[in-house]
């Protein structure tokens, strides 16, 4: 069921011939003094919820609208909105009146004072919490009427993009705070798809966005690689994405303004992750992984930072032993490097052990052993989900990986 949500006041509304162009490019007109009456005609709603104060419900406008619309019209009585408590009550009344998974059209033509602001917030809430589809938010713009007609012709303005702005903001915030790109990518894809659907078939593809949807896909690839701890894939995706962001700027400025405004920030954020040959273990690669660990910490992705730091130390030892040609082979290279770090760490703890050959060769051996002890403790604490009686607090884990990361950075400062 498609539901209309509208408002009414006590004012003396003037007759107008409101006009609207539908998604199918159909020109539609309706003459009325009471704009809510247009919703069944323009948007095919089967029920209209009219939000009115007690005083408005008793007034002539409301009685006339009830006479015209009959059983289709349902009144929802709201307070005047004179204080914060009443504003929250209005929010609750509107949210409660709309059933989950319904489709709504919101009209704010006769909404009074702060009601339009409440409506936009309620609409955002309904979409996220009740999975409600907000088809349109519209406004019958009497102020823009053309007096050369009798009655004057007045346009119906589509304000839905203002609600879409909240989706953009949520998506941008999620990416900048946590590296999550799903919502931002969805906004990009939805924007390109909607523009293509609404474009006249005779217009062709010239001037329409071509790269927004592809940019969305690359953002998601980058985000997934980050969150699923795929550093090589993240490096590759960051390179493609950074190149793409430079070419999509013009489209974004025209069709996706919120995204255009943060393009530079996103580019600056991922640019340090660029590496020419991500599959080759080199000083540049080791430094890039440190940047990625820092990136995780900035996003408070502590688990990812801990796990990647442990693997980084293994990769560092492999490079110091000049075994980088097979650095990703687990059984013959990485497993052995990890075993040798365990031996060195045991020595650091004062245990009897056979030391690896490199222990007395590398000047940083004791630092490597101490770092391995710290990382092993953090890794076990995280991986075993505190399922034991001796666990670290979350703040201790967070502080521990930050301190270890600073020490890892010291190791790579003199790499060539």
Q: Which of the following CATH numbers is that of domain 280-416: 1.25.40, 2.60.40, 1.20.120, 1.10.860?
A: 1.20.120
Please give the full DSSP string across 266-305, using - where no structure is assigned: HHHHHGGG--S-TTS-SHHHHHHHHHHHHHHHHTT-HHHH
Any residues with CB less than 8 A from the CB of 221 and at least 6 apart, and which? 233, 237, 240, 241
Q: What is the pLDDT of residue 403?
A: 97
Report the pLDDT value the prediction gives residue 168, as an integer from 0 to 100.
Answer: 86
Report which secondary-structure segment, H or E, holds 370: helix 365-383
Residue spans of alpha helices (H) in 99-230:
115-129, 160-178, 182-198, 212-227
pLDDT of residue 366: 95
Taking the CA atoms of 51, 57, 62 and 63 in sequence, report the sign of the dihedral they define. positive
For helices 365-383 and 394-412, what crossing angle results, to 10°?
150
Answer whether 302's CB lies under 8 Å from 398's CB.
yes
Quick one: which of 75, 69, 66 has its CA closest to 97? 75
- CA 45 to CA 74: how far, in whole Å? 13
Q: What residue spans define the domains of the chain?
A: 2-157, 159-274, 280-416
pTM of the model: 0.80
Neighbours of 51 (CB within 10 A): 22
Return the pLDDT at 416.
Answer: 67
Cα 311 to Cα 378: distance, rounded to the nearest angstrom: 13
CATH placement of domain 2-157? 3.40.50.10640
- The torsion of the CA quartet 124, 128, 129, 135, rounded to 10 degrees, works out to 60
d(CA 288, CA 235) in angstroms, rounded, equals 8
Q: Which mean pLDDT values do the consecutive 10-residue runs of the chain (416 residues) have?
A: 92 94 84 95 94 93 95 93 89 91 94 83 89 93 93 94 84 90 90 80 72 91 94 92 87 86 86 89 94 95 96 96 92 93 93 92 95 95 87 92 96 80
Q: In what order do the strands lie in the sheet with 47-52?
A: 27-32, 16-21, 153-158, 133-140, 103-107, 2-7, 47-52, 73-77
What pLDDT does residue 163 have? 82
Residue 7 dihedral angles phi and psi, to the nearest 5°: -130, 165
Counting every residue written for the chain, the total comes to: 416
Burial (0-12, 13-18, 19+ Cβ within 10 Å), 384: exposed
Tokens 């490079």 locate to 319
């Amino acid at each position: 069921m498609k539901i209309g949500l509208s408002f009414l006041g006590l004012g003396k509304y003037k007759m107008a011939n409101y006009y609207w162009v539908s998604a199918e490019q159909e020109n539609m007109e309706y003459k009325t003094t009471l704009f809510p009456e247009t919703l069944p005609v323009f948007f095919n709603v089967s029920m209209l919820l009219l939000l009115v104060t007690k005083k408005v419900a008793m007034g002539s406008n409301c009685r006339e609208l009830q006479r015209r619309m009959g059983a289709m019209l349902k009144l929802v009585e709201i307070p005047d909105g004179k204080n914060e408590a009443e504003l929250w009550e209005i929010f609750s009344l509107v949210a409660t009146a709309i059933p989950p998974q319904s489709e709504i059209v919101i009209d704010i033509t006769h909404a009074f004072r702060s009601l339009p602001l409440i409506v936009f917030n309620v609409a955002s809430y309904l979409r996220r919490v009740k999975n409600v589809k907000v088809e349109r938010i519209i406004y019958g713009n009497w102020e823009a009427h053309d007096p050369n007609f009798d009655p004057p012709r007045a346009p119906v303005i589509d304000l839905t993009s203002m609600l879409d702005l909240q989706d953009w903001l949520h998506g941008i915030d999620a990416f900048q705070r946590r590296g999550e790109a799903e919502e931002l990518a969805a906004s990009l894809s939805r924007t390109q798809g909607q523009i293509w659907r609404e474009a006249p078939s005779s217009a062709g593809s010239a001037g329409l966005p071509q790269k927004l949807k592809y940019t969305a896909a690359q953002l998601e690839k980058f985000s997934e690689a980050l969150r699923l701890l795929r550093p090589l894939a993240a490096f590759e995706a960051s390179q493609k994405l950074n190149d793409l962001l430079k070419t999509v700027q013009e489209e974004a400025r025209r069709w996706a303004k919120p995204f255009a405004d943060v393009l530079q920030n996103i580019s600056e954020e991922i640019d340090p992750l660029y590496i020419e040959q991500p599959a080759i273990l080199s000083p540049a690669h080791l430094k890039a992984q440190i940047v990625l660990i820092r990136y995780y910490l900035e996003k408070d992705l502590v688990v990812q930072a801990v796990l990647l730091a442990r693997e980084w130390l293994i990769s560092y030892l492999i490079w110091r032993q000049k075994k980088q040609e097979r650095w990703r082979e687990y059984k013959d290279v990485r497993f052995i490097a990890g075993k040798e770090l365990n031996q060195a760490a045991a020595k650091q703890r004062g245990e009897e052990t056979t030391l690896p050959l490199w222990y007395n060769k590398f000047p940083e051996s004791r630092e490597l052993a101490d770092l391995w002890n710290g990382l092993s403790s953090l890794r076990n604490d995280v991986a075993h989900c505190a399922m034991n009686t001796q666990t670290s607090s979350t703040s201790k884990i967070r502080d521990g990986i930050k301190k270890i990361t600073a020490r890892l950075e010291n190791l790579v400062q003199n790499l060539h």
